[in-house]
């Protein structure tokens, strides 16, 4: 099969690795749909996997299916992808289907925001501000004061011009966990529970990032809770006839498991850990989802960790120049590397910063996977190299079993 993966991060590299057997896999990133269509035609592509939300929320599935006869595209259409593309849409559906989520207020524009904060009856430290539309991981604020809230919201409106509003919701306290599912339009097939580390600094401090590391499996949710979570995700799948990957960001509080948000694709770095546990053929799963068939999925009884190496300026600034990457020694074969932002010219590698690469290890215990990574991480050198030192450390599964 000729397969095209849209996107160009570490997540796309692990998806490609899982599909490489007996298939021609091409990874390509362009936001121009016409260029994508032309590549599909030139390369005789059978299956397209748009793996970042921007493609899906902008309607790449609808577009390619209209433009090219018989092409298969894995993922939700534009309407369904609003589950990630519009926080308001997603909150409405959750309320309608009785899915536990925090209370919220939707505000259309800055005038409504000012009025809301003038009349606010709750403590502002107990609120979360979220941009309604896509914000590339930069749309969530946890404010401490009204002034800070207004500043953050002004900035959100200033940096996005797609006429989205914002939502202000009640802040929840607990443990976060990611549950992803393969969906065939009728039912959700849950992947093993994973945890990602969103903040830039150790101890979950500092601004949010796309994700600085992940571990899988974790045992945060009990079997009983997982059954409930599946029932809730199934309701969304049935309501939207949703096909593709559905990713639920959950918060386990002392009284309930709440749904914080939905994403319409694999997470990055969650994909790096979850897909390394997949013991079934990924292509069969994707085809069965598209066809609406029942799925049979096997998972390896192993533990995976991922640590993301970024540039020290991430997520605040982009690097203005390139920097060379060198290796002080060979990386042990217990560790895999997936590039996010590494370019190669001959035998030289360089990066322009951001999230640079993911180091992943699969082994018998989470402890060992983490040791494999942290015993090799120093071998990768570039100016401004940065990574968290505490991935997996706060985790219940981080005990030697």
Looking at beta carbons only, is 211 or 315 nearer to ligand GLY? 211
**Three-class DSSP category at 26:** strand
Nearer to ligand GLY, 11 or 18 (CB): 11
Output the smallest distance, CB 10 to ligand GLY, in A.
11
Residue 230 CB, nearest approach to ligand GLY (Å): 20
Question: Which CB atom, from 139 or from 165, has the smaller least distance to ligand GLY?
Answer: 139
Query: In the complex, what is the shortest distance from the CB of residue 358 to ligand GLY, in angstroms, rounded to a whole number?
Result: 11
37 close to 67: Cβ distance less than 8 angstroms: yes
For residue 51, the minimal CB distance to ligand GLY (Å) is 10
> For residue 90, which of 76, 73, 74, 72 has the smallest C-alpha distance?
76
CB of 84 to ligand GLY, least distance (A): 9
**Least separation in angstroms between CB 220 and ligand GLY:** 16
In whole angstroms, what is the distance from residue 135 CA to residue 123 CA?
25
Report the number of secondary-structure helices (H) and strands (E) in the chain.
12, 24
Residue 269 Cβ, how far from ligand GLY at the closest point, in Å?
6
Q: Where are the beta strands (DSSP E) in 93-209?
A: 104-107, 127-131, 140-141, 166-170, 175-184, 188-190, 195-196, 199-201, 205-208
Radius of gyration of the chain (CA): 21
Nearer Cβ to ligand GLY (169/270): 270
Residue 209 beta carbon to ligand GLY: minimum distance, rounded to whole angstroms: 9
Cβ closest to ligand GLY, residue 132 vs residue 268: 268
Distance of CA 207 to the CA centre of its chain: 17
Which residues contribute to the site for ligand GLY (CB under 6 A)? 196, 210-211, 263, 267-268, 270
Phi-psi region of 181 (alpha: psi -120 to 50; beta: other; left: phi over 0): beta
Q: Residue 80 or 263: which CB sits closer to ligand GLY? A: 263
Neighbours of 179 (CB within 10 A): 26
Nearer to ligand GLY, 40 or 275 (CB): 275
CB of 200 to ligand GLY, least distance (A): 13
Please, which residue, 68 or 142, has the CB nearer to ligand GLY?
Answer: 142
Instruction: Give whichever of 196 and 288 is closer to ligand GLY, judged by the CB atom.
Output: 196
Check: CB of residue 75 under 8 Å from CB of residue 47: no
Can you list the alpha helix ranges (DSSP code H) found in 52-208?
Answer: 53-57, 60-67, 82-85, 87-96, 110-119, 146-159
Q: Which is nearer to ligand GLY, 12 or 196 (CB)?
A: 196
Q: Which residues make beta-bridge pairs with 20?
A: none
Q: H or E stretch including 372?
A: helix 366-374
Minimum distance, C-beta of residue 138 to ligand GLY, in the bound complex (Å): 12
CA 16 centroid distance within chain:
16
What Cα–Cα distance (Å) separates residue 65 from each residue in 35, 46, 84?
Answer: 15, 11, 21
> Residue 172, SS3?
coil
Angstrom distance (rounded) from CA 157 to CA 153: 6
């Amino acid at each position: 099969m000729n397969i095209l993966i849209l996107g160009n991060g570490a997540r796309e590299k692990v998806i490609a690795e899982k599909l490489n057997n007996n298939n021609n896999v091409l990874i390509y990133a362009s936001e121009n749909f016409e260029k994508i269509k032309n590549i599909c035609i030139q390369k005789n592509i059978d299956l397209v996997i748009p793996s970042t939300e921007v493609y899906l929320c902008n309607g790449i599935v609808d577009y390619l299916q209209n433009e090219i006869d018989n092409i298969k595209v894995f993922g939700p259409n534009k309407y369904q992808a609003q589950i990630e593309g519009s926080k308001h849409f997603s909150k409405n559906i959750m309320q309608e289907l009785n899915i536990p989520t925090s209370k919220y207020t939707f505000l259309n524009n800055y005038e409504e925001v000012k009025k809301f904060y003038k009349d606010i009856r709750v403590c502002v430290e107990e609120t979360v501000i979220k941009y309604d539309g896509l914000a590339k991981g930069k749309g969530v604020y946890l404010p401490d004061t009204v002034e800070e809230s207004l500043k953050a919201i002004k900035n959100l409106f200033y940096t996005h011009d797609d006429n989205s509003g914002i939502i202000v919701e009640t802040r929840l306290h607990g443990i976060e966990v990611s549950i992803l599912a393969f969906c065939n339009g009728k039912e959700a097939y849950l992947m093993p529970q994973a945890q990602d580390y969103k903040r830039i600094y150790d101890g979950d401090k500092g601004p949010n990032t796309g994700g600085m590391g992940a571990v899988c499996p974790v045992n945060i949710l009990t079997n009983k809770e997982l059954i409930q979570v599946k029932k809730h995700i199934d309701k969304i799948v049935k309501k939207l006839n949703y096909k593709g990957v559905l990713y639920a960001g959950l918060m386990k509080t002392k009284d309930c498991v709440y749904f914080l948000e939905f994403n319409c694709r694999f997470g990055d770095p969650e994909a790096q850990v979850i897909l390394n546990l997949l013991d079934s053929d990924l292509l069969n799963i994707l085809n069965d989802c598209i066809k609406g068939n029942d799925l049979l999925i096997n998972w390896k009884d192993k533990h995976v960790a991922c640590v993301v190496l970024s540039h020290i300026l991430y997520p605040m600034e982009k690097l203005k120049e390139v920097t060379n990457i060198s290796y002080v020694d060979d990386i042990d074969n217990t560790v895999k590397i997936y590039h996010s932002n590494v370019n190669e010219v001959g035998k030289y590698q360089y990066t322009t910063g951001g999230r640079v690469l993911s180091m992943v290890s699969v082994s018998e215990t989470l402890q060992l996977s983490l040791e494999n990574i942290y015993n090799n991480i120093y071998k990768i050198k570039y100016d401004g190299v940065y990574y968290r030192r505490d991935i997996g450390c706060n985790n219940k599964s981080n005990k030697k079993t």
